[in-house]
Amino acid sequence: MTEAVLQVTGLCRAFGSVRAVHEVSFSLPAGGSLGIVGESGSGKTTTARIVVGLEQADAGEVLVRGRARTGRARGRAERLARAREVQMVFQDPYLSLDPRTSVEAVLRETLRLHFPGTDHTTRIRELLDQVGLGTRAADALPRQLSGGQRQRVAIARALAVEPAVLVLDEAVAALDVSVQAQVLNLLADIRERTGVGYLFITHDLGVVRCVTDEVVVMRHGRIVEAGPTTEVLDAPRHAYTRLLLESVPRPGWDPDRIAAARRAL
C-alpha cells in the first residue's frame, strides 16, 4: 500500500458540552481521494478545518507527509510551510475571492507570498491553463466571471503552492448541474496529472461515488462507517448510511417511509 500523505488519528474537538468531533481517524494515500459524508452537525466541516489548521483539536494527531501539524504553528515560516502542505477550496466562490482583485493578481499574490523573488508569469499561465481558464480571464474581476469560472479560480489559487492535500468543502454544491460536471471532471484530470490528494467534504452521495476512492460516513461527531466508496455505497452496513442512501430522491421514492426511518434511528 502506498504511504499515507495525510494521517489523522483520534481527533477530538468539543465546543462547550457538544462533542463536535470524537475519536476520528482516517488516512489518505498519496494521490488518493477520500470523501467525508454527513449532514449538518456531523462534524465533517470541523474535521476539515482542523486538518487545514483553521481550528485546533483538543486531542489527536494530524500528520501530513509524516510531519505533525497539531498545535498552533509557531512563527510565519512554519505557518507558510503548513499552508503549502494543505490547501482548501470553499463552497462559495463569491465569498472566498476578493471582489476587487483580478484573477491574475489573486494568483500572483499567492505565489509572491510563498515563493518570493521569482518571476511568476509562466506559472500563472500554467495554472490558468490547468483549470481551463483562458488568458482572457486573467484580467477579469470575480464579478465578471460565472460561478463555475470563479470556482476554477479558487482551485487554481489552491494549486499554486503545489499542496500535498486539497481539502474541498462542498466545493461543487453551489454550482449548476452542468457546471458541476465540468468542475468534477476538471478535478479528476488535475488529480491524475499532479498526484495531489483530495479530502472531499460533501453531503451529496452521487458526488462521492463519482470522485472518491474511499469514504467515511460521520454522524454526531463520530465515524459510523468507513471503507472503499463502491463497497460502502453498494452494501452499506450501518443503518444511518442506509438512511442517507435511501434519502436520495429518485422515481418511485417514498419520502414517508424515509421520514419514519429517520425518526426510528
Partner 1 sequence: MNHPEERVNALDIRGLRLHLPGAARPVLDGVDLTVAPGETVALVGESGSGKSLTSRSALGLLPPGATTGGSVLVDGEDVLTMGPDRLRALRTGRAAMVFQDPRAAVNPLRRIGDFLTEGVRRTGVLGKADADRRAAELLDAVGLGPELLRRYPGQLSGGMLQRVMIAGALMGDPVLLLADEPTTALDVTSQAEVIALLGQLRERFGTGLLFVTHDLGLAAAISDRVHVMYAGRIVESGPAEALFERPRHPYTAALLAATPRLDARPGRLAAIDGQPPDLRQDLTGCAFAARCPYATGLCHEEAPGPWPVACHHPLEGNPADD
Binding site for partner 1 (CB under 8 A): 39-40, 146-147, 176-182, 184-185, 188, 203-207, 209-211, 229-230, 233, 243-245, 247-253, 255-256, 258-259, 262
Q: Which is nearer to partner 1, 6 or 175 (CB)?
A: 175
CB neighbour list of residue 231: distance below 8 Å, 6 or more residues apart: none
Q: Which is nearer to partner 1, 128 or 183 (CB)?
A: 183
Tell the smallest beta-carbon distance from residue 59 to partner 1 (Å). Answer: 28
Tell the smallest beta-carbon distance from residue 198 to partner 1 (Å). Answer: 14
Instruction: Count the residues in the chain.
Output: 265
Q: Which is nearer to partner 1, 3 or 189 (CB)?
A: 189
Q: Which is nearer to partner 1, 195 or 206 (CB)?
A: 206
Interhelix angle 121-130/103-114, nearest 10 degrees: 120
Tell the smallest beta-carbon distance from residue 260 to partner 1 (Å). Answer: 9
Q: Which is nearer to partner 1, 47 or 180 (CB)?
A: 180
Spatial strand order of the sheet with 86-89 comes to 86-89, 165-169, 197-202, 33-37, 214-219, 222-228
CB neighbour list of residue 228: distance below 8 Å, 6 or more residues apart: 213, 214, 215
User: Residue 19 is inside which H or E element, if any?
Assistant: strand 18-29
Question: Please, are residues 112 and 120 in contact by the beta-carbon 8 Å criterion?
Answer: yes
